[in-house]
Amino acid sequence: MRAALKPPGAAFLDRDGTINVKAGGTGNYIESADELCLLPGVASAIRRLNDASLRVIVVTNQRGIALGRMTLDDLDLIHARLNRLLASESNARVDGVFYCPHEIGACTCRKPDVGLFLQAKNRWPDIDLQASAMIGDSPNDVTAGQKLGMRSLLVGGDLPDLPAAVDVLLEEPPDT
| CA-based nearest residue to 145, from 163, 129, 122 | 129
Contact residues for 124 (Cβ-Cβ < 8 A; gap 6+):
10, 55, 96
Instruction: Judge whether 73 counts as a catalytic residue.
Output: no
Is 98 in contact with 116 (CB distance < 8 Å)? yes
Instruction: Judge whether 141 counts as a catalytic residue.
Output: no
> Which one is catalytic: 14, 74, 137, 161?
14
| CA-based nearest residue to 144, from 31, 55, 13 | 13
Report DSSP letters for 29-59, one per residue.
Answer: ---SGGG--BPTTHHHHHHHHHHTT-EEEEE
Which residues are catalytically annotated? 14, 16
